A and B are shown apart, each in its own frame.
Chain A
Amino acid sequence: MTSSVLKVTIERSSDAQDVFEVPAFESQTVLDVVSWVQQNADPTLSYRFACRVGMCGSCAMMVNGVPRWTCRTHINKVLDGNEVTIGPLRNLPVIKDLAVDMDPFFDKWVAAEGVHHGALTRDDPIAPVDEDSSDRVEANAGIECINCSVCYAACDTVAGNADYLGPAALQRAWTLLNDAKDEGRNAILEAVSGSGGCHNCHSMGSCAAYCPNDLDPMSAIAGLKRGTAKSYFKRGR
Chain B
Amino acid sequence: MQLSDIERHDTDILILGTGGAGLFAALHAQQSAPEGTKITIAVKGLIGKCGCTRMVQGGYNVALGGGDTVERHFMDTINGGKWLPNQDMAWRLCEQAVVRIRELENEVGCFFDRNSDGSLHQKAFAGQTADRTVHKGDLTGIEIINRLMEKVLASGVEKLQEHRAVGLIPTKDGSALAGVLMIDMRTGGFKFVRAKTVLMATGGGPTMYKYHTPSGDKTMDGLAMALRAGLKLRDMEMVQFHPTGLLAGDHTRMTGTVLEEGLRGAGGQLINHSGARFMFDYDGKGERATRDVVSRGIDAEMRKNNNPEQEGVFISMSHLGPDFVRKKFKGMVNRCADSGFDLAEGKVEVVPTAHYFMGGIVVDVDTRTAMEGLYVAGEDAGGAHGSNRLGGNGVANSTVYGGIAGDTMGADIVSMSLREPDEAVLAAEFDRAIYPLSRKPNLVLPLRKQLQDLMWEEVGVMRTEAGIKRGLTGIAEVSDALMDVGVDNGTLAFNLTWHDWLNLRSLCDISEVIAKAGNARENSRGAHFREDFPEPGTMEDSEFTVAQQTSEGVTVTREPVEFSIVRPGETVLPADAPETLVATQ
Q: How many residues of A contact B (CB 8 A)?
A: 70
Q: Which residues from chain A contact B131 at a C-beta distance below 8 Å?
A: none
Interface residue? B369 (CB, 8 A): no
A110 and B150 within 8 A (CB): yes
Q: Which of B135-143, B271-279, B544-552 contacts A (4 or more CB under 8 A)?
A: B135-143
In the bound complex, how far is the Cα of B254 from the Cα of A126, in angstroms?
38
Distance of A143 Cα from B112 Cα, bound (Å):
11
Contact partner of A122 among B103, B186, B338, B487, CB < 8 A? B103
B64, B107, B118, B253: the one within 8 Å of A35 (CB):
B253
- Residue in B closest to A57 when the chains form the complex, CB atoms: B49
B86-105 interface with A by 8 A CB criterion: 99-103, 105
Asked if residues B109 and A129 are in contact (CB atoms below 8 Å), the reply is: no
Given that A31-B253, A44-B491, A128-B114 are known contacts, is A146 also in contact with B146, CB under 8 Å in the complex? yes
Q: B217 touches which one: A50, A122, A145 (CB < 8 A)?
A: A50
Verify B54–A51 contact, CB threshold 8 A: yes
Tell me whether A48 and B150 are in contact (CB under 8 A).
no
B interface residues, tally (CB under 8 Å): 68
Contact, CB under 8 Å: B490 / A44? yes
Give A122's nearest chain B residue, CB to CB: B103
Q: Is the interface of B mostly helix, strand, loop or mixed?
A: loop
Q: Give per-residue flags for A109-131: 1 if the beta carbon is below 8 A from chain B beta carbons, else 0.
A: 11000111010111111111111
Contacts A44-B495, A97-B494 hold; do A109 and B150 have CB atoms under 8 A apart?
yes
Instruction: Say if the beta carbon of A134 comes within 8 Å of chain B.
Output: no
A66 within 8 A of B: no
Q: How many A-B residue pairs have CB under 8 A?
A: 194
Confirm or deny: A159 has a beta carbon within 8 angstroms of a beta carbon on chain B. no
* Contacting pair B497 A38 (CB below 8 A): yes
**B335 to chain A: which residues have CB within 8 Å?**
53-54, 72
Say if the beta carbon of B422 comes within 8 Å of chain A: no
A29 touching B150 in the complex, CB below 8 Å, given contacts A44-B497, A51-B215: no
Q: Beyond A58-B46, A95-B186, A128-B119, is A29–B253 a contact (Cβ under 8 Å)?
A: yes
Specify the chain B residue showing the minimal Cβ separation from A73.
B338
Contact with B251, one of A32, A48, A50 (Cβ below 8 angstroms): A32
* Residue A20 at the chain B interface, CB threshold 8 Å: no
Closest to B152 in A: A115
User: How far apart are the CA atoms of A96 and B143 in the complex, in Å?
Assistant: 30
Question: Shortest 5 CB-CB distances between A and B: which pairs?
Answer: A116-B109, A128-B118, A120-B106, A46-B494, A43-B497
A82→B47 CA distance, assembly (Å): 36
**A45 CB-CB contact with B under 8 Å:** yes
One of B441, B487, B494 near A95 (C-beta < 8 A): B494
Q: What residues of A have a CB within 8 angstroms of the CB of B109 in the complex? A: 115-116, 118, 176, 179, 181-182
Say if the beta carbon of B443 comes within 8 Å of chain A.
yes
Query: Interface 1/0s, chain B 101-133, versus A by CB < 8 A?
Result: 111011111010110011110000000000000
Q: List chain B residues, Cβ under 8 A from A120.
A: 106-107
Of residues 46 to 62 in B, which have CB atoms within 8 Å of A's CB atoms?
Answer: 46-47, 49-51, 54-55
CB of A162 within 8 A of chain B? no
* B153 interface hit (Cβ, 8 Å): yes
Q: Mark B20-48, 1 if CB is under 8 A from A, else 0.
A: 00000000000000000000000001110
Q: Which residues of A contact B217 (CB under 8 A)?
A: 50
Please determine whether B254 and A115 come into contact, CB atoms closer than 8 angstroms.
Answer: no
Q: Which of B106, B335, B441 has most A Cβ within 10 Å?
A: B106
- A29-83 interface with B by 8 A CB criterion: 29, 31-32, 35-36, 38-40, 43-58, 71-74, 76
Least CB separation from B218: chain A residue: A50
How many angstroms between the C-alpha atoms of A35 and B445 in the bound complex? 11
Whether B284 is near chain A, meaning CB under 8 Å from some CB there, is no
Q: Are B252 and A29 in contact, with the CB atoms below 8 A?
A: yes
Pick from A27, A76, A95, A181: contact of B252, CB under 8 Å: A27
B497 touches A109 (CB 8 A): no
Contact A74 B338 (CB under 8 A): yes
Chain B positions within 8 Å of A114 at CB level: 150
Q: List 4 additional contacts besides A50-B51, A121-B107; criterion CB under 8 Å.
A: A25-B249, A57-B49, A106-B153, A121-B106
Cα A100 to Cα B495 in complex, Å, equals 14
B151 at the interface (CB under 8 A from A): yes
B216 contacts the other chain (Cβ, under 8 Å)?
Answer: yes
CA–CA, A128 and B187, complex, Å: 49
Could you give 23 example pairs across A and B, Cβ below 8 Å? A26-B249, A26-B340, A27-B251, A29-B252, A38-B496, A46-B496, A49-B216, A51-B215, A52-B216, A56-B215, A71-B253, A71-B254, A73-B338, A74-B340, A96-B493, A109-B150, A115-B151, A116-B150, A118-B109, A120-B107, A126-B64, A128-B118, A147-B146
B102 engages A55 (CB within 8 Å): no
In the assembled complex, the Cα of A54 lies from the Cα of B144 at a distance in Å of 16
Q: In the complex, A124 Cα to B251 Cα: how many Å?
A: 50
CA gap between A149 and B254 in the complex, in Å:
22
Chain B residue nearest in CB terms to A46: B494
Q: In the assembled complex, which residues on chain A have CB atoms less than 8 Å from the CB atom of B493?
A: 46, 95-96
Q: How far in angstroms is the closest Cβ of chain A from B203?
A: 11
Distance in angstroms from B246 CB to nearest chain A CB is: 9
A102 proximal to B (CB < 8 A)? yes
- With both chains docked as a complex, state the minimum distance between the C-beta of A144 and any C-beta of chain B, in angstroms: 6
Least CB distance, A211 to chain B, in whole angstroms: 14
- Contact check, B46 vs A55: say whether CB atoms are below 8 A apart: no
- Closest chain-B Cβ to A151's Cβ sits at a distance in Å of 15
Q: How far is the CA of A123 from the CA of B100 in the complex (A)?
A: 10
Interface residue from A50, A131, A143, A146 paired with B50 (Cβ < 8 Å): A50
B106 surroundings in chain A (CB, below 8 A): 118, 120-122, 124, 126-127, 181
Task: Please give, as numbers and ranges, the residues of chain A lying within 8 Å of B445 by CB-CB distance.
Answer: 39-40
Once the chains bind, are B216 and A27 in contact (CB under 8 Å)?
no
Query: Which chain B positions have C-beta within 8 A of A115?
Result: 109, 150-151, 153-154
- Contact between A126 and B105 (Cβ–Cβ < 8 Å)? yes
Chain A, 139-172, contact with B by CB distance < 8 Å: what is the 0/1 string?
1100111110000000000000000000000001
